[in-house]
Amino acid sequence: MNRRKFLEKSTLSTAGILSTPLIAGERQGLESGNSPNPSSIDLKPIVIATWDVPNATEKAWSVLQNGGSALDAVEQGVRIEEADENNQSVGKGGRPDRDGNVTLDACIMDKDSNCGSVVYLQNIAHPISVARKVMEETPHVILAGKGAEQFAYSQGFEKEELLTEKSKQEWLQWKKTAQYRPVINIENHDTIGMLAIDGNGDIAGACTTSGMAYKIAGRVGDSPIIGAGLFVDNEVGGATATGVGEEVIRTVGSFLVVELMRQGKSPQEACRTAVQRIIEKNKDKLDFQIGFIAINRNGETGGFCIHPGFSYRVYSGKGHKNNPSSSYLAK
């Protein structure tokens, strides 16, 4: 079924959108249940991350296994992807803006609702660690651009060239036509968001990205915006997002997911409802991808996206697994 036909068939009223048969790949059990599963208590500690990033979740898991905090786990976990030059949507090796500058966005949030964020950060390979320093060493939440960079140097971070030869060559190729077209699930923009619960039952989250490839200089997406790209409430759970940030900001997506869990929805249902909210606001133009993942304080997890193709990694006492996310549209 093509997209238009799909849209014609579905009534884009709230009731229509909720029509279960139209939800692709919904799984039963832990992830789709509404009420907390008592056995899931055993799932803590646990870490989940957007996309299939086994090295990142492995690192976070080892921190948790050694008695580390959820905050340390998510920071250490996403740093793996920030350092990986082959991941061209995060950290060093990230694709540049349309002028050839790699600019990074990241945020972090802990169990006490402390948070820190950097936007439009250049020349620093680990924006998540700078965001943590903003949280811990300043009275502020967000530092931007040159100020964030200067702050990073003052905290001992080193200046690094972030534009790799591979990303540079691709950008030069792109410049020949200079057309920006987000391609669903092709890594021209994919954020790494991570959520963890530690042995004490405390929750933390981290989110990091180089943003949309070839964006207008100065553009900032949802990923460093607390409430949009990431939100944690230790009493409830956490959520994080990937995809076209403008749409996530418009609905304050991750905050919405957490608030839906507060109202009693499972992580899976909360993610699905947040995606549906975005769909309601867009109706006829679903040619973009959004994916949410969430965890509640029992250790239940969920994920939902618009187009098939998104997945998320879960590492718990029950194993380490990549989960294809349920999606609003079918293949």
Which spans of this chain sit near ligand ASP (rule: CB under 6 A)?
A: 189-191, 209, 211-212, 221-223, 242-245
Nearer to ligand ASP by C-beta: 236 or 290?
Answer: 290
DSSP run (H or E) holding 204: strand 203-209
Dist CA 157 CA 142 (whole Å): 17
CA separation for the pair 62, 45 (Å, rounded): 11
The residue type at 156? G
Question: What's the min distance (Å) between Cβ of 189 and ligand ASP?
Answer: 3
Out of 50, 103, 191, 301, which one is annotated catalytic?
Answer: 191
Catalytic site residue 191? yes
> According to DSSP H, which parts of the chain are helical?
3-9, 14-17, 54-65, 70-83, 127-137, 145-154, 165-175, 245-250, 253-262, 267-282
Cα–Cα distance, 221 to 190 (Å, whole number): 11
Pick between residue 69 and residue 87 the one whose CB is nearest to ligand ASP: 87
CA distance to 41, 71, 240, per residue, from 298 (Å): 5, 17, 17
- Shortest gap between Cβ of 288 and ligand ASP (angstroms)? 9
- Shortest distance, position 167 Cβ to ligand ASP, whole Å: 15
Active site residues: 191
